[in-house]
Amino acid sequence: MFERLPGTRTATEETRPRQQESAGFLPKISSFYREFKTEMKKVTWPGRKETVSSTAVVIVTVLVIVLFLGLVDYALGRIVYSVLNF
């Protein structure tokens, strides 16, 4: 007479313990670990020279940004000081 919609459960299905989900916990962890090891073998790690040059670029970039923001802060502070005449 009535059709069940896909993805819906009956009252007896809702009260049953979910054994399928908890039974595969250890195999899931084992599978995850195997896949993790496989993916990590595919990673190409940078060499020392590349790491040093990338670090130098980051440090120089940060110093340029700090200098720029410091100058902008100083200029805006002087402008506000001169407008408000403290």
DSSP, collapsed to helix, strand or coil, labels residue 44 as: coil
Question: What is the DSSP secondary structure assignment for residue 16, as one 8-state letter?
Answer: S
Length of the chain: 86
Q: Distance between CA 38 and CA 20 in Å, rounded? A: 27
pLDDT class for 76, splitting at 50, 70, 90? very high
Q: What is the pLDDT of residues 8-66, one digit of tens each?
A: 666 555 555 555 555 588 899 999 999 999 999 999 999 999 999 999 999 999 999 99
Q: Distance between CA 48 and CA 67 in Å, rounded? A: 29
Residue 72 one-letter amino acid: V
Residue ranges of domains in the chain? 19-84
Q: Is the pTM of this model over 0.75?
A: no
Q: Distance between CA 17 and CA 15 in Å, rounded? A: 6
